[in-house]
Amino acid sequence: AQTVTQSQPEMSVQEAETVTLSCTYDTSENNYYLFWYKQPPSRQMILVIRQEAYKQQNATENRFSVNFQKAAKSFSLKISDSQLGDTAMYFCAFDSGGTASKLTFGTGTRLQVTL
């Protein structure tokens, strides 16, 4: 079974600074998908960014980017120019894709953006 580990339960960053959230996973699959979801205080789950394992290029979405290291099974999220609205829980998730597709989530990192 796949596992996803987020080793940072809480992090804090000042507004306009850059922060990196860590995620590692364990799998024997070669093709799979990785995700970062954001959960603000409203508790809605919002997709931040997605990475396909077969793509070597790291995914980016505006201020959000990932550092995908397939050999190391690492998938970190970098948030640049942090904003107060980035305050949220962030979950890393893994999906093997295909017919048995279902997401496995990490335990989350609570990010606080301060003035």
Q: Could you tell me which residues are beta bridge partners of residue 110?
A: 10, 89
Q: Does 112 bind other proteins (CB under 8 A)?
A: no
Site membership for other proteins, residue 75 (CB under 8 A): no
- Burial class of 57 by CB neighbour count within 10 A (0 to 12, 13 to 18, 19+): exposed
The verdict on 50 binding other proteins (CB under 8 A) reads yes
Q: Is 66 in the site for other proteins (CB under 8 A)?
A: no
The CB-of-14 to other proteins minimum distance in angstroms stands at 25
**Which residues fall within 8 angstroms of residue 75, CB to CB, at 6 or more apart?**
23, 24, 25, 34, 36, 51, 66, 67, 68, 69, 92
Query: Does residue 114 interact with other proteins by CB under 8 A?
Result: no
Q: Which residues bind other proteins (CB under 8 A)?
A: 4, 6, 9, 33, 35, 43-45, 47, 50, 52, 91, 95-99, 101-108
